[in-house]
Amino acid sequence: MEYVYAALLLHKQKKEINEANIANVVKASGAEVNEAQVKALVAALADVNIEEAIKAAPVAVAAPAAPSGGGGAAEGKKEAELPSAKTEEQAMEGLSALFG
């Protein structure tokens, strides 16, 4: 997974996605570099338009966490209403803001 993140980081910084750059990013993160995985990723991304792949990626919208607290219905407290989930369009806008 760190190799994909390295490629996305390089793409965001408009740097060339090559074996040396990916290896340097992975090393900088403190992880061990597996040269075979680096070569495989670079080969797999050779014909991929990363910008289009990011735009086309399905986005899972996480449900908000349940409110925590010691109180319950026995104490007469009403549960807080949860905000409505983001629409897919809003989620895609957020993703595109992350990656350019």
Kindly report, residue by residue over 13-55, the tens digit of the pLDDT. 999 999 999 999 999 999 999 999 999 999 999 998 989 988 8
Residue percentage of the chain with pLDDT more than 90: 45
Domains, the chain = 2-58+84-99 (1.10.10.1410)
Contacts 24+ apart (CB under 8 A), 48-52: 50/7, 50/8, 50/11, 50/17, 51/11, 51/99, 51/100
Q: Which of 54, 3, 48, 45 has its CA nearest to residue 25? A: 3
What pLDDT does residue 42 have?
94
Q: DSSP class of residue 5? A: H
Residue percentage of the chain with pLDDT more than 70: 63
This prediction's pTM: 0.56
Query: Mean pLDDT, to the nearest integer, of 41-70?
Result: 81
Report yes or no: 7 and 17 within 8 Å, Cβ to Cβ: yes
What pLDDT does residue 85 have?
55
Cα(59)–Cα(89) distance, rounded to whole angstroms? 10
What pLDDT does residue 80 have?
54
> Residue 52 corresponds to which tokens in the numbers above?
């289009």
Mean pLDDT for all residues in the chain: 79
Looking at residue 5, its amino acid is: Y
